[in-house]
Amino acid sequence: MSKCEKCGALIEAQETYEFAGESLCEDCYLEQRVKPVTCDPWAVYSARSTKGKAPQLSEIQGRILNLIKTKGPLEAPEICGQLDISEAMFQNNFATLRHMELARGFKDGDKVRYTLF
Ligand SMILES: [Zn+2]
């Protein structure tokens, strides 16, 4: 038995996860792994709960998809400007769309444009 260094839970050796040099329980390990997107509650929620389920888009993801469908391919600043969202918010949401294979980015000269998958 060892102890999770984050929440203090007792964990079996085979259920110990290493993250950044710490021994963590599965819950804390998953929490660490989704950390880059914890500012987006929906992304965290979906990372945990969409296993095997049909993907469901958040409102903002639907709007991004719709915009590049009708006006794309577009660059990030154009998308952010039209939807009035921050670049970070766009990147977070776009990562989900890309993960679902609904949209993708591609290089167009020295620019990156976004289009449907
Ligand atoms: Zn823990």
- SS3 string of 89-103? HHHHHHHHHHHCCCE
What is the Å distance from ligand 1's center to 42 Cα? 22
pLDDT tens digits, one per residue of 101-110: 899 999 999 9
Cα 16 to ligand 1 centre (Å): 9
**Three-state DSSP state, 44:** helix
Which pLDDT score is estimated for 38? 47
Ligand 1 centre and the CA of 35: distance in Å? Answer: 14
- Asked if residue 56 lies in contact with residue 76, where contact means CB atoms within 8 angstroms, the answer is no
Alpha carbon of 20 to ligand 1 centroid (Å): 14
Q: Ligand 1 centroid vs 48 CA: distance in angstroms?
A: 16
Q: Tell me the C-alpha distance between 78 and 56, whole Å.
A: 24
Q: How far is residue 94's CA from residue 75's CA, in Å, rounded to a whole number?
A: 12
Estimate to the nearest angstrom the gap between the alpha carbon of 87 and the chain centroid.
14
* 40/96 Cα distance (integer angstroms): 11
Q: How close is the Cα of 8 to the center of ligand 1, in Å? A: 6
pTM: 0.53
Residues of the chain with pLDDT under 70: 34-55
CB-CB neighbours of 26 under 10 Å: 13
Residue 54 has what DSSP assignment? P
